[in-house]
Structure 1
Amino acid sequence: MPELPDWMRPPRPEGWLAEDLDNLPDAPRHTELIDGVLVFMMSPQRNWHRRVINALDRTLAAQAPEGFEINSEMTVRLDDYNRPEPDVIAATTTIDRDATWYEAKDVVLAVEVVSPESQHRDNAVKPRKYAEAGIGHFWRVDDVDSVTTVHVYELDDLTRTYVPTGIFRDTLTVDVPFPVELDVQALYA
């Protein structure tokens, strides 16, 4: 087995910190930090996954009112040991052109488009971490038997967990975090 490159070795016994991600020049794109551990997106993305992300990015950007910024391929700093990368983000702040992450307090919606290799993280790990960090809304987009399905959740502030508010296969219509109406099946067209 080949030896690991130096940049893959954690700089401290307790693991990596959120700020370490910006100092890994040889790390693959879409490297995330979950519980102090680097998570790499190593397998190629499916066409469905990429097209749904692009469509959500465009659709949400077109419908977002002033004061909201829609972005993708950016990480969110949840705490010192967690900096995941939601597939799409809605934030209430504009970040600097050289920024590589958002503060959790500024993110109002995190969207995960589920892939086979990220299924456990997207269904269990990330939603729990987003809720604990106070991100008010979470959407999980699945390809269920070749039907695009959006599961919408809202944060219960008391329990710091998400509660389901809808499952959408045709037209998604929500009022929060801002009014959105979208054709779910057109996300993969």
Structure 2
Amino acid sequence: MDDLDSVNGIDDEPFPEWLRPPYRGFTVDDLFRLPELPSHTQLIDGGLVFRARQSIHHSRVNTLLEDGLRRTCPAHLRVRRETIVVLGPGQAPEPDVFVVRAEAAGGLDTDRCAARNVVLVAETVSPDSAIRDRERKPQLYARAGIPHFWLVEEGTRHRPVVHVHELDPDTGAYVETGVHRDRLTLTAPFAVDIDLTAVDRM
């Protein structure tokens, strides 16, 4: 270890072998098998993605969306937060908030959901994951056939701005159907009415 490493606090411990990806990348089975993974680790394109510490604002926005969806969620659906959604062998993101069919929601010990049972995914953009949230994840969700996607950006006065997308069955890609500030009022995938300014009071 040279002087610069010493100053930066870098030691000469070997890279953990279990963290080295195989030639074709990690799989979903690996994600749930590997020891000592930090909580909320995701799998994107066969690579492990570690989440940065959430800001208070990010957590409040997700709570606002979760509570708002629960108020009007029909009996055949359930609202979930920060649980792995399996999209394919090397794709297992953890959406901020999503809606899944009740028969597939599982109990308190459920650690994953299959994409075929998910009807809505919401991602709140964070600085550490902005490109993934805005670009790669929507591509993967659309490819998996999830019909509704919300991208939540930070607007003026730190209030959430919700970009609503629906899956175009002809192109297999999302089409933006509206941008909602102050209030989110929708009829699909079910009746939704969320006061986005309520984040000011949380």
Q: Does TM, scored on the shorter chain, surpass 0.5?
A: yes
Indicate yes or no: 2:173 matched with 1:161.
yes
Give the number of equivalent residue pairs: 187
> What residue number does 1:25 align with?
35
Q: 1:134: how far off? A: 0.2
1:74-129 CA-to-partner distances (Å, cap 9, x unmatched) read 01100001000100010113224322111000000000011111100000000010
RMSD: 1.3
Indicate yes or no: 2:150 matched with 1:139.
yes
Q: 1:188: how far off? A: 4.7
Match runs of 1:1-189 below 5 Å = 2-10=13-21, 12-41=22-51, 43-92=52-101, 93-145=104-156, 146-189=158-201
Partner AA of 1:103 in structure 2: A
SS of residue paired to 1:117: helix
Distance 1:123 1:50 in 2: 18
TM, length-normalised to structure 2: 0.88
Q: Looking at secondary structure, tell me which structure has more helix per residue.
A: 2
8 Å contact from structure 1 (residues 51, 188) kept in 2 = no
5+ residue gaps, structure 1: none
TM, length-normalised to structure 1: 0.94
Distance 2:15 2:169 in 1: 42
Distance 1:60 1:3 in 2: 46
What percent of counterpart residues are identical? 41
8 Å contact from structure 2 (residues 105, 113) kept in 1 = no
